Structure 1
Amino acid sequence: METSFEIFLACAPGLEDMLCAEALAAGFADVTALPGGVTVTGGWPEVWRANLQLRGATRVLARIGGFMAFHLAQLDKRSRKFPFGEILRRDVPLRVQVTTKASKIYHAKAAQQRVETALTDTHGLTLDAEAALTLKVRIDDNAVTFSLDTSGESLHKRGHKLAVGKAPMRETLAALMLARAGFNGHAPLVDPMCGSGTFPIEAAEIAAGLWPGRSRSFAFEDLASFDAGAYAAMKAGMPAAPDGPVRFYGSDRDAGAVRMSQQNAERAGVAGMTAFAMAPASDLVAPDGPPGLVMVNPPYGARIGNKKPLYALYGSLGETLKARFTGWRVAMVTSDPGLAKTAGLPFGPQGPAIAHGGLKVWLWQTPPLR
């Protein structure tokens, strides 16, 4: 196969522009935003680097090639000739997923069986419906495209956050929301409803230049194309986490959430840059130093509990921020525009909807509070 190919970086719908900006800033080539993600061009080192370094991508798919096929026999024949052995190892199981659209081959299950037979009979590969490595086959307008999911587990699973609370914010989503809120790691951040600490920990990692995939493994490590030495050299380029100072703060009224946040920060290596405390949002005060960003993901009432009591919560939070956080900007995530308005904060226009756990949410932002 070619040494350079298209790489698809998946992300939450509604945040493609933020992932596009991140990929451009990271130096990837031919960056293009598409619905549900971003495409770039590169080879296997770029696949490794995308998994290791990009904070907003949820999966990295390597589009390793394809061909035209107008019927099942042609799909079978050309799959047998495709150079899978250059990429896949016989001792590593994989699974096959097929989608078809506007093609003469319209039966996805039959197409899957033909590809699987070619993989086992001709290429000697092992199939397992539960395998971490996935070969995705897309048949669109009779064009067959093979893609490998090189990530394995979703990239929001950083590998160092073990404790989570109810309805957690995924790290990939949090990173792109921080980017949309203009956070670049230089200003302090406060999260008054921190849950398991996702926003303060992501903010600290961004400030420290720590790569999100540093603590985990990936499906690409089981490919025939993987160069362990080159990948180790790539990982060695990550800066070490600083000891401090504390600039990223989280609080929660639940003691268990605070404990989880502290443990997660320690595992992530940013305990020296973060501080967590048990306190209701009404007790929130601005930390000493320059103003920064209040990033908050309050309960929505859509999945957890009843929405009616939340109006008072949002109203109280808004009053606290207006009284004690002069000069700070606020970014609030919620699925209900009515709840956001209840906060009484000078939010700008409602932005694009963002997919989050089966819901549509919006990121509401203010200018510096006066």
Structure 2
Amino acid sequence: MESENTFDIFLVAPPGLEPVLADEARERGFQGVVQEAGGVTVRGDWTEVWRANLQLRCAVRILARFASFRAMHLAQLDKRARKIDWAALLPQGVSLKVEATCRKSKIYHDRAAAERVKKAVKDIVGAKIDPEAQLVIKLRIEDDLCTFSIDTTGESLHKRGHKEAVNKAPMRENLAAAFLRQCGYDGTQVVVDPMCGSGTFIIEAAEMASGLYPGRTRDFAFQELQNFDPKVWQRLKDSAEPTVPPLRYFGSDRDQGAVRMSTANATRAGVMDACQFTCQSVSDLTPPEGVPAGLVIVNPPYGARIGNKKNLFAVYGALGKTLKERFHGWRVGIVTSEPGLAKATGLDFLPGLPPVPHGGMRIALYRTAPLP
């Protein structure tokens, strides 16, 4: 039976990756998983909010929907907003910002709605309104239903807290985790990335295999809330049962600086014993010795991202040639913004997946079956 203390928790997904996050939430044991545009809704209490921030790899942020009511005009919004038990949620004098959106409602002025909520929290808990605050109250008014959420995450969840060195065009960690899952990676396969950059794919794969929680080394906005319990939080972090997987995560890059970055990041993440990084070009790439065929996943440069894409067709062609000649039985995942560059590899790809926004462009994952 559901506790009266449970509420909707909205897991924000990278657009296009909602099904991947829904699958991860189910695997992690979250209840009432419902996929919708922009993310996934689950049901739980505040401990589940903290657990979602700690454990989910594919989410962008976690919103706790803590109150809702209907309001037809601003005075009604003001009156009912003041009945929310703000003191149970927010410490006295806390810094926060308030955002509002209105859609298909009699209250149609976003800014005026936000001002009413700001005044309520200032009057009740002495909140300081700060546009740079980590704590964010979000009010959505749709069809006259006012739903209040609080962003419990702060900085985006792709910022794991233990990756400091990044290269020119880094892959976000939550996207890397989602793409690995879409390639069928479950923590048991060998993973090779021949253009590893700062090591994101390799480190994510090794962490997933190790059972390490992605949020284990960072802070979150919910730690500022009145209801935060440090002892329960520590128990959640201690519930991990990490293991050291065998050496089966192999990154390489022609840039020695990238190899140094990857090594430093994997060391900070605590997975370097399972990883190996080498400096070499794609043309020198060979399957690691003594391991079964696994997954080659790579985020090559693409024209909109770095330099002139005309020069990249040869790079993609060389990558495809190397993989077809040497990686029999391996599956391949290639992330690019350019379908033409993916085609230049000469690989036979499985049916396409929806493109995903990333850094002002749209990228897509191209996957193969095991190479013949």
**In the alignment, is the contact (CA less than 8 A) between 2:77 and 2:116 conserved in 1?**
yes
Aligned-partner Cα distance in 1 for 2:5–2:211? 29
Comparing 313-322 with 359-368, which one deviates more in the overlay?
A: 359-368
The match for 1:249 is 250
Q: Provide, for residues 163-219 of structure 1, a one-character-per-residue CA deviation record: whole Å limited to 9, x for no partner.
A: 111121100011011001000110100000111000000000000010000010111
The match for 1:190 is 192
The match for 1:209 is 211
Aligned-partner Cα distance in 2 for 1:39–1:167? 31
Residue type at the aligned position of 1:261? S
Aligned-partner Cα distance in 2 for 1:282–1:239? 39
Aligned-partner Cα distance in 2 for 1:10–1:363? 20
Comparing 341-350 with 51-60, which one deviates more in the overlay?
A: 341-350
- Count of residues paired in the alignment: 369
Question: TM-score by structure 1 length?
Answer: 0.98
Residue type at the aligned position of 1:10? V
Secondary structure in 1 matching 2:94? coil
Is residue 268 of structure 1 aligned with residue 263 of structure 2? no
The match for 1:349 is 351
Return the match for 2:122 from 120, 128, 146. Answer: 120
Shift of 1:266: 0.3
Secondary structure in 1 matching 2:357? strand
Q: Provide, for residues 89-139 of structure 1, a one-character-per-residue CA deviation record: whole Å limited to 9, x for no partner.
A: 114211111111111111111111111111111333222221101101111
Return the match for 2:28 from 26, 30, 37. Answer: 26
Shift of 1:241: 4.6
Moved over 6 A (4+): none
Shift of 1:82: 1.2
* Structure 1 residues 296-311: aligned runs within 5 Å: 296-311=298-313
Aligned-partner Cα distance in 2 for 1:265–1:60? 26
Question: TM-score by structure 2 length?
Answer: 0.97
**In the alignment, is the contact (CA less than 8 A) between 2:54 and 2:215 conserved in 1?**
yes
Is residue 236 of structure 1 aligned with residue 273 of structure 2? no
| Unpaired segments ≥5 residues, structure 1 | none
**In the alignment, is the contact (CA less than 8 A) between 2:216 and 2:237 conserved in 1?**
yes
Residue type at the aligned position of 1:281? V
Secondary structure in 2 matching 1:348? coil
The match for 1:45 is 47
Secondary structure in 1 matching 2:47? helix
**In the alignment, is the contact (CA less than 8 A) between 2:86 and 2:124 conserved in 1?**
no
The match for 1:110 is 112
* Structure 1 residues 335-346: aligned runs within 5 Å: 335-346=337-348
| Unpaired segments ≥5 residues, structure 2 | none
RMSD between aligned alpha carbons? 1.2
Return the match for 2:81 from 79, 82, 91. Answer: 79
